[in-house]
Amino acid sequence: MITGTRDLLFWILGFAATIWSFIKLRPSYAVWMIGNWLLFTSTTFIIGVARFTVIMFPLFILFSLIASRRSWHRIITVWSLLFLALFTGLYVEGHWVF
């Protein structure tokens, strides 16, 4: 169940970041984002979206723009630490494949 939820979350994150990149970033980054997002969402089923989202490097630029505000910096940090703890715990329990 966590796999489907995680993939949906990262699918939505990738879509939102792709739309946002057209507003905030240079056009070449926006084209890179839309190309990668379309590439991994055009498969027959969506699985492993979290690892494909990492390829969308302008996402990190967008996060840095958001993190310039102190409150958003804290939210991103807590969110990242919670996911790190969750996935580390799942890995230790043996759920490292889907």
Q: What is the pLDDT of residue 53?
A: 83
Please tell me the distance from the alpha carbon of residue 7 to that of residue 2, in angstroms, as a whole number.
Answer: 8
pTM exceeds 0.85 for this model = no
Per-domain boundaries in the chain:
2-66
Indicate the DSSP class of residue 55. Answer: T
pLDDT for residue 78: 95
pLDDT of the residue at 2: 67
89: which 2 tokens?
A: 């715990």
Tens of pLDDT, residue by residue over 18-62, are 999 999 999 999 999 999 888 888 876 777 787 888 888 888 898
Contact assessment for residue 49 and residue 11, using Cβ atoms and an 8 Å cutoff:
yes
Residue that has been written with the tokens 């489907």 in this structure: 4
